[in-house]
Amino acid sequence: MKKIALITGATSGIGKAAAERLAKEGYNLIITGRRQRELDELQTSLQTQYGVDIWALCFDVRRYEDVVDNLGSLPERWKDVDVLINNAGLAVGLNPIHTGVVDDWERMIDTNIKGLLYVTRTIVPRMVERRSGHIVNLGSIAGKEAYLNGNVYCATKHAVDALSKGMRLDLLPYGIKVTQICPGAVETEFSVIRFKGDKNRADQVYSGFAPLAAEDIADVIAFAVTAPDHVNIQDMLIMPKAQASGTIFHKE
């Protein structure tokens, strides 16, 4: 029987690349995000290309009731998720703390911490019942160090780091693996969203060096989730060759 992976934030970037990679590995997928059209296109393309089953759910991870309603609406044969990939997340703004925009802070905290918790709380009880499952959390280099003006985004990713460790401890008796994947700079929609649509500013982030592609991270996710059952990749930090820390780059 094919395994089931649920990927939050599959409409673009790392989540979309992970969906493509895991479909290629033969997983049936539950893909989620807020953009129905992107979900529909991905569903059709993966089903056609790889012959796997795809279930698409359009909801906002920040709304607990919507998370519960949508995941609760899954037909019985989709309810036992083998791999949960908590990927949906974002940075908004890059301001020093004293000029931070409170609404930006709320969006990051609500998505990156609370959204991840809501989805986890809804999916994991059945993993516990089955004494089997794998959670993959998208952390970041920003969860390993703080960088200038990154304050709240870095705090949310430090929270993901702590939650990954906490989940691993709590779920150990139930045979559930927890992996944290921490990328450096990956060229996706991430910076366009951080800079609120300013494409030029976003492009500058990735100029003068070769950033990671979403597919590079998808490969790492696939490596972690297809490891033998007794092997858990706990934590991986993946950087472009030209990046030494959150903000130190060697640019040509």
Q: Provide the 10 A C-beta neighbour count for residue 185.
A: 22
Residues with catalytic roles: 153
Q: Tell me: does residue 188 bind ligand NDP (CB under 6 A).
A: yes
User: Are 77 and 45 a contacting pair, CB within 8 Å?
Assistant: no
Residues that bind ligand 8X3 (CB under 6 A): 140-142, 150, 184-185, 246
Alpha carbons 75 and 200: distance in angstroms, whole number:
44
Buried b (16+ CB within 10 A) or exposed e, 103-133: ebbebbbbbbbbbbbbbbebbbeebeeeeeb
Mark residue 183 as left, alpha or beta (left: phi above 0; alpha: psi -120 to 50; beta: remaining): beta
In the complex with ligand 8X3, which residue's Cβ is closer, 122 or 140? 140
In the complex with ligand NDP, which residue's Cβ is closer, 178 or 186? 186
In the complex with ligand NDP, which residue's Cβ is closer, 15 or 133? 15
Cα radius of gyration (the chain): 17
Distance of closest approach, residue 222 Cβ to ligand 8X3, in angstroms: 20
User: Of residues 6, 83, 90, 92, which one binds ligand NDP by CB under 6 A?
Assistant: 90
Return the HEC string of 148-196.
Answer: CCCHHHHHHHHHHHHHHHHHHHHHHHHCEEEEEEEECCEECCHHHHHCC
Residue 163 binding partner per list ligand 8X3, ligand NDP, none, with a CB distance cut-off of 5 to 8 Å that depends on partner kind: none
Residue 35 binding partner per list ligand NDP, ligand 8X3, none, with a CB distance cut-off of 5 to 8 Å that depends on partner kind: ligand NDP
Q: Tell me: does residue 13 bind ligand NDP (CB under 6 A).
A: yes
Alpha carbons 5 and 2: distance in angstroms, whole number:
10
Residues in CB range of 41: below 8 A, 6 or more apart: none
Residue 105 binding partner per list ligand NDP, ligand 8X3, none, with a CB distance cut-off of 5 to 8 Å that depends on partner kind: none
Chain position whose Cβ is nearest to ligand 8X3: 140
Distance of closest approach, residue 66 Cβ to ligand NDP, in angstroms: 9
In the complex with ligand 8X3, which residue's Cβ is closer, 28 or 86? 86
In the complex with ligand NDP, which residue's Cβ is closer, 63 or 130? 63
Cα 99 → chain centroid: 28
Residue 240 binding partner per list ligand NDP, ligand 8X3, none, with a CB distance cut-off of 5 to 8 Å that depends on partner kind: none
Q: Which of residues 141-180 bind ligand NDP (CB under 6 A)?
A: none
Alpha carbons 37 and 247: distance in angstroms, whole number:
35
- DSSP symbols for 44-83: HHHHHHH---EEEEE--TT-HHHHHHHHHTS-GGGS--SE
Residue 246 binding partner per list ligand NDP, ligand 8X3, none, with a CB distance cut-off of 5 to 8 Å that depends on partner kind: ligand 8X3
- Given the rule CB under 6 A, which residues bind ligand NDP? 8-15, 33-35, 60-62, 87-90, 111, 115, 138, 140, 183, 185-186, 188-190, 193, 214
